[in-house]
Structure formats: structure tokens, C-alpha cells
Amino acid sequence: MEWTQFQYFQVVAQLQHFTKAAETLNLSQPALSRSIARLEGELGVPLFERQGRTVVLNSYGRIFLNRVNRAIQEITLGQQEIEDLIDPFQGSVSLGFIHSQGSNLVPDLLGSFRKNFPEVRFMLYQNLTSQVLDQLEAGDIDFCFCARPIARENVHWIRLFTEEIILIVPREHPLAQRKTVKLAELSEELFIAFKKDVSLGEIIDRLFQEAGITPKVTFEGEEIGTIMGLVAAKLGIALIPKVKAFDMSGLSQVHVSAPLCQRVIGMAWVEGRYLSPAAKRFKEFVMEHFLHEK
């Protein structure tokens, strides 16, 4: 078997079309078909079911694709390791983070880090906690900044800092005159809430349960900016993390005295997975940065 056969097989399996795969590989379709046929002959089984112009993997093909993907990933990592050893002061770091950390944490850390390592490149991905963790487990990113996740196999998470969760209300709202409030006092208020499948939504839902109330929710969103805009439009009140970078015009902030309202932000990575020298340096930098702040 030849290495190119594995690469050709992977592309055909992804596109499920010989013509499109041949165009992607800059190869003639007859040459691609012959290569796949030779591979099937060497394996002694067909890998695809032909359906007109398209093809789909059969059970043998699905088994073989799983191994091919792993083999190609290992070879790619080996090439990357060698490149990193040749030039250890360059490289790239892929980083995922939740929306609320894109306005201050990530820009501040990257700006400070690149003062010492200006040649290091960053690939950034902003998403929900569950999705950046999925990217992390899939090997698409090196690290992610997120709230404490539900336990995931091989994912290691360390605490970096704690954010207070505050109540925001329109400036004209009666609660705007209050410095503090207990969550139990808000059972009759209309709330703009985060969706339950967002980690922040899970955290805030637990706070309501702890306070013994069921909030009257008029709208559910995913992003802090959207929640704030709806509160400013006087459609309800909301609990959000206290983040300096957001524009609070038209809103008042109220400290919640009970229960303790906060969330913990940390950094996660997959234990035992290869990290480039650039990624290792960034990991050490982040941990030292927050160690000095404590």
C-alpha cells in the first residue's frame, strides 16, 4: 500500500464523489478510480457502495477510514514536531474561548505574550463552552478558556479566576436604586435568561434553585450582549457576569448578596496530547500570569 492511497481514500470518503475528489486532489478521475481499486484489491474487500455518481462508505470502509484518519493525524503531528524542533521560537497556538472572554481576557493575554514571542501565531475560535470543549477533544484546538466543564475524559481544567454574577436592570427600574438584593426577592420579576444548554445558563439556573424560586422567563439567549440589549429595552431583568468591557449605558448593576453568585473561568487542555513548544510556552505564560495575580 502507498501513502497516497490513504490520502486519496480519505478525500473520497469525505466528499462521497469521485469527480469532486479528483478535482480536489488535482488528479484525473480514472487515475483516482484505479488507485482506490488497487487499495480495495490489496485489502480484499470493497470500501464503497456505488450509488450513481456518488459513493458511500460500507461497513469495511467505515472501519478502515477510522484507522486512516488516525494514521494521517499521527504523521501530521510527527511532521509538526520536527518543524517545531527546527525552529522552536516560531509556531502557532490554536485557542478556543467563550464569548464573554473575547473582549478582555484573550486580547490582554495575547498582547502580553506576543511582546516576548512576536513570531508566534494564534488561531482563535469563539464559541459556547460545550462547542469549544468539543473542538478541544477533537484535536482542533490546543487550549480553551471556559467555565468549569462537566467532567470529560482526558480533559484537564485549571482555575484561573472568578467572575461575580450581577443583576442588571433598566436605569428606570425600581431595583436600580438598590445596592444589593437577594435572589429570593425577585420571584415576581420578568427575566431575560440564558439558554439551559449554555454553561452560563446552567450556572444561573442552579442559583435560582438555591434561592428557591422559579424565574418568569420572557426570552432566552446565548450571548451576554444580546441579554444586555433586551434588558436595556425594558423587556426584563437579567443575571450576567460582571465584565468590564461591555457597555452598560442604560443599565444599572446590582450586587446579589445571596446566594453567592459567581462563576469560575479556567483553561482546559487534553492531558497527554502533544503540544508544540509555542503552545507549551503559552500554557506556562498563562499559569504564571494568574499565579502572580493571586
pLDDT digits (tens, 9 = 90+) for 118-133: 988 899 999 888 889 9
Question: What is the rounded distance in angstroms from the CA atom of residue 117 to the CA atom of residue 110?
Answer: 10
Rounded to 10 degrees, what is the CA torsion of 181, 183, 186, 190?
110
Hey, CA dihedral for 134, 125, 69, 58, is it positive or negative?
Answer: positive
Calculate the average pLDDT of the chain.
89
Question: What is the rounded distance in angstroms from the CA atom of residue 142 to the CA atom of residue 282?
Answer: 10
Does pTM surpass 0.85? no
Hey, CA dihedral for 208, 209, 214, 219, is it positive or negative?
Answer: positive
Which residue bears the cell 427600574?
173
How is residue 142 written as a grid cell?
490546543
Which residue bears the cell 481544567?
157
Least confident of 174-183, 218-227, 258-267: 218-227
First to last CA, the chain: 56
| DSSP assignment string, 71-115 | HHHHHHHHHHHHHHHH-TT-EEEEEEE-GGGTTTHHHHHHHHHHH
More confident site: 176 or 247 = 176
pLDDT in tens, 57-99: 999 999 999 999 999 988 988 887 787 766 667 788 999 998 8
Question: What is the rounded distance in angstroms from the CA atom of residue 47 to the CA atom of residue 9?
Answer: 9
Instruction: Please say if the pLDDT value at position 232 is more than 90.
Output: yes
pLDDT in tens, 1-36: 888 999 999 999 999 988 899 999 999 989 999 999
Sequence-ordered alpha helix ranges (H) in the chain: 3-15, 18-25, 29-43, 59-86, 105-116, 129-138, 199-211, 224-232, 277-293
Question: What is the rounded distance in angstroms from the CA atom of residue 152 to the CA atom of residue 130?
Answer: 11
Q: Measure the CA angle with vertex 233, ends 228 and 235; round to 5°.
A: 90
Question: What is the rounded distance in angstroms from the CA atom of residue 121 to the CA atom of residue 52?
Answer: 44
pLDDT band for position 276 (50/70/90)? confident
Report whether 49 contacts 34 (CB < 8 A).
no
Local structure of 178: helix, strand or coil: coil
Instruction: Please say if the pLDDT value at position 245 is more than 70.
Output: no
Question: What is the rounded distance in angstroms from the CA atom of residue 64 to the CA atom of residue 69?
Answer: 9
How is residue 55 written as a grid cell?
459513493
Residues contacting residue 243 through CB under 8 Å, at least 6 positions apart? 100, 103, 104, 163, 224
